[in-house]
Amino acid sequence: MRKFCMDCGIYTNLKLTLNKKGFPLADNDLLVAASCLEYDLSLYTLNLKHFGRIQDLKFA
């Protein structure tokens, strides 16, 4: 359960940061990105327009 709470913190920080910059993302995209950041995973996506806004997110 503790690991899940860490993902929530990353998710919340991403949501607040992107909303303040005027680039909101869908909640499901934020959850995917937060999980990738927490577990140091690369994201496989063709949607670089949205996910490219997230700092430190790695792409494969």
Report which of residues 6 and 22 the model is more confident about.
Answer: 22
pLDDT of residue 5: 59
Q: Cα separation of 15 and 1, whole Å?
A: 21
What does the domain layout of the chain look like in residue ranges? 2-59
What residue type is assigned to position 2 of the chain? R
The confidence band for 4, taking pLDDT boundaries of 50, 70 and 90, is low
Nearest to 11 by CA among 45, 43, 41, 38: 38
CA quadruple 55, 15, 9, 4: dihedral, nearest 10: -100
pLDDT in tens, 13-39: 999 999 999 999 999 999 999 999 999
Strand partners for 58: 42
pTM of the model: 0.84
Q: Cα separation of 20 and 14, whole Å?
A: 10
Strand partners for 59: 43
Percentage of residues in the chain having pLDDT higher than 90: 82
